[in-house]
Amino acid sequence: MALSRAVIGPLLLIALLHYVQSQNKPPKITTPEASQTFDVSTTDSEPFVLQCKAEGEPQPQYRWEFNGNPAEGVAFASDPIAGTLTITGFTDREEGSYQCFAENEISTGVIAAAMSPVITLREIKMGSDWPEPLIKEKKVNEGFYLKLECENKPVSVPTAQYTWYLVAGTETTGDVKNSDRVYTDNSGTLHFMYTLKEDQQSDKTYKCGMFNSKLNIIKLGSEKDIIVTASDPVPQVPAAAQFHTNPAVFLRTQDAELECVFSGNPVPNITWYNKSGKQIKANAKYEYVADTNGRKLRIKNVQEEDEGMYKCKGSNSAGSAETSLFMDITSGPIWVKALSSQTLPENRDAVFTCIARPAKGETALGPPVWFRNGKPMPIQNSPKYEFSDNARVLTIKNLSKTTDIMCFQCNVSNNIGYEFGDACLNVIEPIVILSEPSLRQEITKGDIVNLTVTGKTDPGYVLKYRWRFGNKTYELTSPPHVIYNETTHTAYINTTGLSDEDYDKINGTYYRDLYHPFETKTVAIDVIVTELPVIEPGQVVAAGMDLWWIALIVALIILIIVIILITIICNRKRQEGTYPLDKKERANDIDPEKDLADSGFHDLSRAPGDDDFPSKKPGGLNPNFDYGDDMDMGDDDESLMEYGGGDFDTTKFNEDGSFIGQYSSKNKTPQVTQSPMPLNHATESQI
- 341 within a domain of the structure (yes/no): yes
Which helix (H) or strand (E) is 368 found in, with range?
Answer: none
- 506 within a domain of the structure (yes/no): yes
CB 23 within 8 A of CB 197: no
Q: Profile the chain (687 residues) by mean pLDDT over runs of 10 residues.
A: 39 39 80 93 90 94 95 93 94 94 88 94 89 84 96 93 93 93 97 97 93 92 94 96 96 96 97 96 96 96 96 97 97 95 96 96 94 94 96 97 94 92 95 96 95 95 95 94 91 94 95 96 96 51 56 90 88 64 53 57 46 42 42 42 43 49 45 40 35
pLDDT at position 441 = 96
- 649 within a domain of the structure (yes/no): yes
pLDDT at position 581 = 52
- 317 within a domain of the structure (yes/no): yes
pLDDT at position 614 = 43
Our CA angle for 223, 226, 231, nearest 5°, is 170
Q: Choose the final residue of a domain: 395, 411, 428.
A: 428
pLDDT at position 317 = 96
In angstroms, the Cα distances linking 144 to 147, 196, 266, 627 are 10, 8, 11, 167
* pTM attached to this predicted model: 0.66
Mapped onto helix, strand or coil, the DSSP state of residue 38 is strand
Same domain, 76 and 151: no
Q: Domain range holding 659? A: 583-664
DSSP lists the bridge partners of residue 29 as 54
CB 118 within 8 A of CB 95: no
The two beta strands, 418-428 and 342-345, are parallel
| CATH of residue 49 | 2.60.40.10
pLDDT at position 666 = 42
Same domain, 524 and 463: yes
pLDDT at position 677 = 40
pLDDT at position 131 = 77
Same domain, 340 and 397: yes
Same domain, 486 and 523: yes
Same domain, 258 and 308: yes
Sheet architecture: strand order including 491-494: 448-450, 491-494, 483-484
When divided into structural domains, the chain yields a total of: 6
CA gap 148, 389 in Å, rounded:
54
- 11 within a domain of the structure (yes/no): no
CB atoms within 10 A of CB 148: 23
Same domain, 34 and 105: yes
Q: Choose the final residue of a domain: 212, 232, 252.
A: 232
CB 344 within 8 A of CB 428: yes
Same domain, 108 and 135: no
Same domain, 103 and 146: no
- 369 within a domain of the structure (yes/no): yes
- 223 within a domain of the structure (yes/no): yes
Q: Choose the final residue of a domain: 123, 140, 156.
A: 123
- 450 within a domain of the structure (yes/no): yes
Same domain, 158 and 204: yes
Which helix (H) or strand (E) is 240 found in, with range?
Answer: strand 237-244
Mapped onto helix, strand or coil, the DSSP state of residue 683 is coil
Contacts of 92-95 with C-beta under 8 Å, sequence gap 24+, read: 92/42, 92/123, 94/40, 94/66, 94/121, 95/121, 95/122, 95/123
Same domain, 436 and 402: no
Same domain, 158 and 212: yes
CB 139 within 8 A of CB 133: no
DSSP secondary structure, 304-334, as one string:
GGG-EEEEEEEEETTEEEEEEEEEEEE-S-E
Same domain, 226 and 138: yes
CB atoms within 10 A of CB 168: 11
DSSP secondary structure, 48-97, as one string:
EEE--EEEEESPPEEEEEETTEE--STTEEE-TTT--EEE-S--GGG-EE
CA gap 506, 480 in Å, rounded:
8
Which helix (H) or strand (E) is 553 found in, with range?
Answer: helix 547-576
